Each structure stands twice: as structure tokens, then as C-alpha cells.
Amino acid sequence: MATFLYKLGRLAFRRRHFVALIWVALLALAGAGAASAPAAGNTSFSIPGTEAQKAFDLLEQRFPGMSADGATARVVFKAPSGEKMTDKDIKATVEKTVQELEDGAEVASVADPYTGKAVSKDGTIAYASVKYKVSGMELEDSSRDALNRAADGARDAGLTVEIGGDALNATPETGSSEIIGIAIAAVVLVITFGSLLAAGLPLLTALIGVGIGVSTITALASALDLGSTTSILAMMIGLAVGIDYALFIVSRYRAELAEGREREEAAGRAVGTAGSAVVFAGLTVVIALVGLSVVNIPMLTKMGIAAAGTVAVAVLIALTMVPALLGYAGRRVKPAGEKSKLLGGRRKAERPQSAGRPNLGTRWASFVVRRPVAVLLLGVVGLGAAAVPATSLELGLPDDGSQPTSTTQRRAYDLLSEGFGAGFNGPLMVVVDARDSARPKAAFDEVGDRIKDLGNVVTVTPAAPNKAGDTATITVIPDSKPSSTTTEDLVHAIRDTGADITRSTDATVLVTGSTAMNIDVSQKLNDALLPYLTLVVGLAFLLLIVVFRSVLVPLKAALGFLLSVLAALGAVVAVFQWGWLSGLLGVEETGPVMSMMPIFMVGVVFGLAMDYEVFLVTRMREAYVHGENPNQAVVTGFRYGARVVTAAAVIMIAVFSGFIGSGESMVKMIGFGLAVAVLFDAFIVRMAIVPAVLALLGRRAWWLPGWLDRLLPNVDVEGEGLRARDDDRPRDEDRELVRA
């Protein structure tokens, strides 16, 4: 592989006009596609195999036009102090608002508060229920605008009006904090390279890669039903890995220049060595992201595949466009140890291998190999302590009760709780399929009576059958709030009761609604976590065996990843569930951690963690196969790689931290979790635990059974083939002898 990539790097350097033209053309093509593509709403949401989804599908069949999974909105009214919702003027205002709500093109029905008995006992709060023909993720912006205009009209009349429900779920907005993250990355690159031009190359190539990836996602969003969160995830991961991959190529290029090689040769060697690490690091990220499809949640599958495509683009750009731009830069990109005129003139620092003061990476690695047990224990205990909060992990999907108090959804949630009880915000819909029952009406009544006898139930509405009389819906209002474990227990209790009813009446009982759907999604994600972890870690383990030609090094890498991801989950629980530092990070409401967070973190963090493992340990492997003893190889790996890996980690942390400023709780939590995970993995696992373990293992770290060694392909990540090419080339003195 190293030889192939070496030739590719030299070709891109020589044919830089052609390479640059191809990438610019791809960017323009993707941009044009995005600009001309039809506007797409958020992705449709379905969870195949869950009981809640089966109930929705059944309702679509038995209640045509009901739009069972359509968006809902509750327009909540509160009368001014001392007045009642039944007062003549207030009633007229509400009825006018209801008429305005009915005019929407996507509106299926609107329930009047006065005819639907939706006025609180004290008469101060009422609500109108709006049902739409499409889901909240497919609702047009014009429908949301009409909803807000109707509410504004009632506010102008003196009422307090708030809107809840999933109809207001809008596209997550990214803030200026992402720009701050990129700015921090730029500063780190300038410090690392000592050159504005060299620092600008990784930023430029990463932005081009992200531009192509996100524009392609936008262009295909309507055709493939991709949601807005998909492009945000692709941007987040694409920026981070794009900068890092280019950083490693440029850094190795400057190191090759410092060895005295010509620029084209240096570009080829940089791509042949660091590029090999980029390919395998990118593969681990792609495996982790594509592996999300095993969860069998279409939205999550699409997010993973789209983000994986952006990572693949980042790898290709690092291997081709980076050497092409290095060709354009020429002598303005200095060898390692030299700074540009702007940042310190032409003075040349000592090279790491010269007989001067060792660099910080060398000094740190030397310390670790002298005290491996102490460093290992300190790292493991520290991460273990950070992981302790993860033992209290509570999973759930966010509802309006987890929104900031500044939002109308949260205020509507609080008003409904005040007027009708906490459970009113999470009603359960029980669907009774009595097509196979001899007495459908009796089955409907039995279901209602049995549910009334359960605990934590406030209201059970009479069964509402369809025209055929073979299916009915029953609404159940719990006494507890939607996200509580008590409500979850009630859902399971109704389902257990339904199993008994099926045996006695042949009627099938299904529980659905947003609350039941959230419970089912959480359970599905929990059930998929272990198979997903096994698949991703197993495939990456095999890949790393090929890369490092060792069994213990990939095993250590996987165990170190588990430590870092558990510690990161502990930090997420401490902030988003317990409320530690929540004010500093802009977390207004604490609650259960988003259900998809653990499985998502496992996938993304594993891929990113393996980046640093590959980049750092391949340098050690390279030194070891070239004759250094194990401890010397560890020090050599840090001498050449620690500075660059540190810069890459800081850049990735800065990019992910930029998304903490998002107003979308899901994006905020993902940004924080990934930033903390990279911090733990890069600076504790890879920089401390990895060298300590390698020092303790010695030569055993690179052990590989002979039979496995013969089976594995030789991918030559260390560039041994390139060194052999040098050995085969006639030296200058040999040429003179030949001429003589």
C-alpha cells in the first residue's frame, strides 16, 4: 500500500492542476446540485419492529385519513388574572383562533376546547388540539408560520398563548460557536507548523471536503429522505477528521523535507507513510458509522452512511489534493523546524534527532517507559473515576419538558401540567384490534376496564371504534410525567394486560403514542448496543491486526477505547442528567440522556480513537521494524508523532466543542460527548496508557503467531517498501564507478 500511495502522492504533486480542477469541479457540481434541489423537510421517522410502530401502521390501515403518525400541536390558552376561559370575550377570541387554525392546507382536524371538554376545572386554562396530515418532520414551514400567526392573534387580545407538540420541531440551527471552533483549530495549526500557509492547507482542504459532503447531502435530501441533523453530523465529523488527516500529511511532508529530500519525493513519501495511516484510520471511522445500520432505525442508518461518505471524501482529499496544494505552495512550506518570515524569520531549529534538548514528546515518553506501572494505574483510576456517573445513566428521548424554559413548547408543557396534571403531556394511545374476536365490543370494554384497574392512571376514555367496528382506540392519561420511569412501568403493565386479554378474547392490544414510541426506541437502542459494539470493535480489531501485525496492540487499543467512552458517558451524565456545570455549558434543563447517545458515542468515538492509535503506534511500529528495541521505539514514536497527535486532538476537541453552542439539545449533547471523549482518549489513553502498556509488554506487544502472519496480507503501512526502493537505487559513488 505504501508504494501505491507513494506513487499517488507524486502523481498528485506533478499533476496538481488536473487534481485541483477535479476537486473544484466536484465542489461546484455538488453546490449546484444543492442549490437546485427541492427543499426537503426533516426525515420521516419510523422504528420498524416496535409495538408502537406496528400500532401506527395498523391505524393507517383501519382508520384511513386519520394520520395516526401526523404532527400534533396543542395551542394552550390561559386567561388573564381574575378571568375565566368561559367568559364571553375570551371564548370568542379562542373560537376565532380555532377557525384560523382550521384553514391550514396540511391540517387534518382541530378540536375546539369548549366542545372537546378541554378546559381545566378551575376554568383558567384551555387548549385546542391541532392534528396534521403529515409528521412533524415533514411539516412545511408555512404550516408552522400559520400556527404561530394564529397564536399571536390571541396574544394580542390579552390571552397567554403557548404552543406545544411536535409540530414546532424545526431544523436545528448552528451558531457562531462552530466558527470559534474553526478559529481555534487555525491557531493550533499555526503554532504547530510555524507557518500561515502550511496551517491554511488543512483548513482549506477540510472545508472543501465538508463542502462537497454537505452539499451532496443537501442535493439528495429530498430523494433519499435525509434529515437536517444528517448534514450537521456530517459537518461535525467531516471538519474534525478532514483537518486531522491533512495535518498528518503536511506534517510528514515537512519532516521529509527536513531529511533533505526534494519536494516531489517528500510529497510522495508523506502520502506513502502518513497516507497509509490516514487510509486505515478513515476505514475505522467508516466502519463505525456504517455499522449504525445494525440498529435498524432508518434515520440513524442514513445519518451514519452520510457521515461515512463525508469521511471517505476527507480521506481522498488528504491523499490527492493536499500533495497537489503542496506543489502549488512550493518553497513557502518550510521543512520541519523552520518558521516562516512572518512568524520568526528564517531561523532553523534543531531537528528532533539532533544532539540537542529532546522535545516534549521525547521527554514524556522517556518518563512513561521508566515509570509504566505508576502511569498506567493513574490513567486507569482517573478514567474509572470519571466513568462512575455512568452507573446512574438514565436513557430517554427528549420531550417538551426537557426544553429550556425560554421556549414556547416548555411553557405550554408547564401550563398543561398546571391545568390538567403532569401525565396530560404524554397520553398513551391503546389500539385494540378485534378483527379476530367473536365479540369486538366486549373486547373493547374489557380493555378499558382492565386499564382503569391499573395504578398511575388518571383518565381512560371510552373506546372509539372505526367504521368497520373491528378496531378501536382508547386514550389513557397517566398520573406521572411522560419521561418518568413510572409512566414506562404503566406502558409495560398495559402491554402485559393486553397479553392476557388476547388469550381470553382473541383481540390484540397495542400501545402507541409519542411516549410509548420513546420507550420503544430506547429499548431498541439498548438491545442493539452489544451487537453493534461486537460488530464494530470486531471488524476494527481485525483491521488493526493487519495494520500492526500484532494481536496485543489491537486488543490494548480496544480496551483503551472502552475506558475512554465509559468516562465520556460519565461526563455526559454528570452534566446533562445531574446538572454539573450545566449553567456554564448552557444546559437549561437536566433529564435523561438521549437514548441514541451511548450507541452513537460508541460508533463515532471508536472510529476517532483509532485515528490516534493508528497515527501514533504506526510510528512506533515503523521504528521497531527498522531495528529499535521496544522502549526506544515508543520514544521514537512520541518524538515524531506526539506534537502532531496533540495538535490533532486539540483541533478535534475545538471543532466538536463548537457544536455545544447549538440550540438543539441533541447536537449540544453530541458535541460535548465527542469533545470530552477525544480529550480522554487522546491525552490519557493514547498519550499515557498506551506507552505504559507497550513498555510493560516489551517485545511481546508485537507478537503475532506464525500461522496468522502467513495468512495476513502485507499492507506495508510503515513504508518498508519505500526504504527498500532506496536501498535498491544506485548511490552517487556507485554511478561514478559504473561510468569509470
Identify residue 322 by its one-letter amino acid code: V
Residue 299 makes CB contacts below 8 A (sequence gap 6+) with 43, 45, 227
162 or 558, higher pLDDT: 162
Handedness of CA 413, 418, 419, 420 (dihedral sign): positive
Which pLDDT belongs to residue 317? 95
- 169 pLDDT tier (thresholds 50, 70, 90): low
Q: Are 201 and 234 in contact (CB under 8 A)?
A: no
**What is the C-alpha separation between 530 and 543, in angstroms, rounded?**
20
Q: pLDDT digits over 682-713, tens only?
A: 899 989 999 999 999 988 888 888 888 888 88
Using alpha carbons only, give the angle 167, 172, 176 rounded to the nearest 5 degrees.
150
- 18 pLDDT tier (thresholds 50, 70, 90): very high
Which pLDDT belongs to residue 256? 87
Site of grid cell 526504504: 723
Q: What are phi and psi of 260, to 5 degrees?
A: 95, 10
- Identify the weakest region by mean pLDDT among 16-25, 605-614, 641-650: 605-614
Q: pLDDT digits over 512-535, tens only?
A: 888 888 888 888 888 888 888 888
Q: pLDDT digits over 299-342, tens only?
A: 788 888 888 899 999 999 999 999 999 999 888 888 876 665 55
Q: pLDDT digits over 344-359, tens only?
A: 554 444 444 444 578 8
504 or 22, higher pLDDT: 22
Helix (H, G, I), strand (E, B) or coil at 590: coil
Site of grid cell 394486560: 497
Question: Is the pLDDT confidence value at 668 over 70?
Answer: yes
N- to C-terminal Cα separation, the chain: 38
Q: What is the mean pLDDT of the chain?
A: 82
Residue 434 makes CB contacts below 8 A (sequence gap 6+) with 440, 443, 444, 470, 471, 472, 505, 506, 507, 508
Which pLDDT belongs to residue 597? 83
Q: pTM of this prediction?
A: 0.77
- 738 pLDDT tier (thresholds 50, 70, 90): very low
Site of grid cell 476517532: 608
Q: pLDDT digits over 441-498, tens only?
A: 989 999 999 999 888 888 888 888 888 888 999 989 898 888 788 888 999 999 999 8
Which pLDDT belongs to residue 44? 52
